[in-house]
Amino acid sequence: MSRKPSPRGAWEWQRTARTRLGMLDAARAVFAERGFAEAGIADVVRRAGCSVGSLYHHFGGKTELFLALWEDHQRAHEEAAASGVAEARRAGVADPVELFIAGARAYLRGAWERRDLTRLFMDGDAPPGFELIRRTRGREWVRQNSVLLGADDTPLDRLTTAVLTAAIAEAAREVAVCETGAEAEAVIDASITLIRRLAGR
């Protein structure tokens, strides 16, 4: 027979989740202001209002904090893109390129909403080994886009999918440095126009 979690256990889990979220929020602010190399654990701890021991207990150190932010950022991108594609499908869109564009638009809007993180993860100031992690995730992103586009396993189709994916990544960089939401939307619209041209539309 399974037992329900005790109210105390649920409360402790919520407190732990809040503590972890507070540390991530503090790390996000510190990394955005100072970059990874110049940021210190003491800065994060001070901003989060926690102890050094608590931070190491939850994350293990500065690199792990950075990678946890990266994973959260990537998850948000993936969820936004998937939601954009699903919404387009519900609206009756069946063309693979148009579905790809719906996902790209949602992805790029997320790049604007989380522009501090977009800039952080694209500027090269990262822990050792991060570039390999990013490249590996990039290859998986190309594979997913290939499935969405219904691309064949030919050199031309593989290259086309890689170029379209790279175009979104570069557009995200441009969106993240915009000064206003209106400017970001204009860049997103231009990016969609470029994607259509690259896709032969």
Q: What secondary structure does DSSP assign to the chain, as a single string?
A: ---PPPHHHHHHHHHHHHHHHHHHHHHHHHHHHHHHHH--HHHHHHHHT--HHHHHHHTSSHHHHHHHHHHHHHHHHHHHHHHHHHHHHHTT---HHHHHHHHHHHHHHHHHHTHHHHHHHHSS---TTHHHHHHHHHHHHHHHHHHHHT--SSHHHHHHHHHHHHHHHHHHHHHHT-SSHHHHHHHHHHHHHHHHHHTT-
Q: What is the pLDDT of residue 157?
A: 93
pTM exceeds 0.85 for this model: yes
pLDDT per position as a tens digit, 52-86? 999 999 998 999 999 999 999 999 999 999 999 99
Q: What is the pLDDT of residue 105?
A: 98
Q: What is the pLDDT of residue 1?
A: 46
Asked if residue 48 lies in contact with residue 23, where contact means CB atoms within 8 angstroms, the answer is: yes
Residues shown for the chain: 201
Q: What is the pLDDT of residue 123?
A: 83
Q: What is the pLDDT of residue 15?
A: 67
| Alpha carbon distance 195, 201 (integer Å) | 8
pLDDT under 50: residue ranges of the chain: 1-2
Asked if residue 30 lies in contact with residue 119, where contact means CB atoms within 8 angstroms, the answer is: no
pLDDT per position as a tens digit, 9-32? 555 556 677 888 999 999 999 999
| Alpha carbon distance 155, 145 (integer Å) | 15
| Alpha carbon distance 156, 198 (integer Å) | 12
Q: Is 127 exposed, middle or buried (0-12, 13-18, 19+ CB in 10 A)?
A: middle
Q: What is the pLDDT of residue 49?
A: 92
Residues 6+ apart with CB under 8 A from 35: 120, 123, 125
Q: What is the pLDDT of residue 201?
A: 76
